[in-house]
Amino acid sequence: MSYALNHTNRKLTLEPKITVNAKIIVVGASSVGISFLETLVFCSHLKFNNLTLISTHGLPGKKLLDTEQRKFLASDHCFNNKDYALMSLCSWVNVVVGRMTGIDRAAKHVVLSTGEIVLYDHLILCTGQQYQVPCPTGADISQHLTNREVPNSSQQRYTGKVPCNHFTLNEEEDCFMALTWIRNNSITTEDGGIASVLFCR
């Protein structure tokens, strides 16, 4: 198991730290959000007592996928599972598992999908790049239209029912669900492999 080893010396022990009690909320466990929290946590002269991360699946680095399966995800290679273990952000940051659905700037709180309200003094939005379910254009494919002739649907959001075999791979949990569905609904070969599977981003 990976572990974190923290070392300190007498000089750092006796050095006074300025305590910051402001409620700082980071929304999204993207590379930017994790890097921001890492900078605050390991600041040598400041101690932050109210750091909160709001993320759909909590902190990353749960090791749901092996090295080969992680290739399904687009990665900027900023952090790997060992980095997450060495940072041990769960020791310093309050983690709220949920999806933010609203911001009340006057009352300084965010609203989660569960209806829970989380107060903040400083709000940092680091949701990262997220793939979305494509929205059908409604074009008649029998007319053999070009891309220029098809109505632009880039600003539209698909709100209908998503088919059970359609997966948007944004996080490890999404890949894990997709692989589980494929194993349960696909033809497997004698050596345990999966036959004729196509992934598209």
Taking the chain (201 residues) in runs of 10, the rounded mean pLDDT of each run is 75 84 93 92 91 90 66 70 83 92 95 93 87 70 76 69 78 80 72 49 44
pLDDT of residue 68: 62
pLDDT of residue 155: 66
pLDDT of residue 196: 45
Question: What angle (nearest 5°) sits at the alpha carbon of residue 29, between those of residues 23 and 33?
Answer: 60
Sign of CA dihedral 119, 120, 121, 123: negative
Is the Cβ–Cβ distance between 23 and 120 less than 8 Å? yes
pLDDT of residue 180: 84
pLDDT of residue 153: 61
Q: Minimal CA–CA distance to 73: which of 175, 166, 165, 167? A: 175
Tokens 């909160």, located at residue: 52
Q: What is the pTM of this model?
A: 0.68
User: If you ran DSSP here, which 8-state letter would residue 180 be given?
Assistant: H
Domains of the chain: 1-128 (3.50.50.60), 131-200 (no CATH)
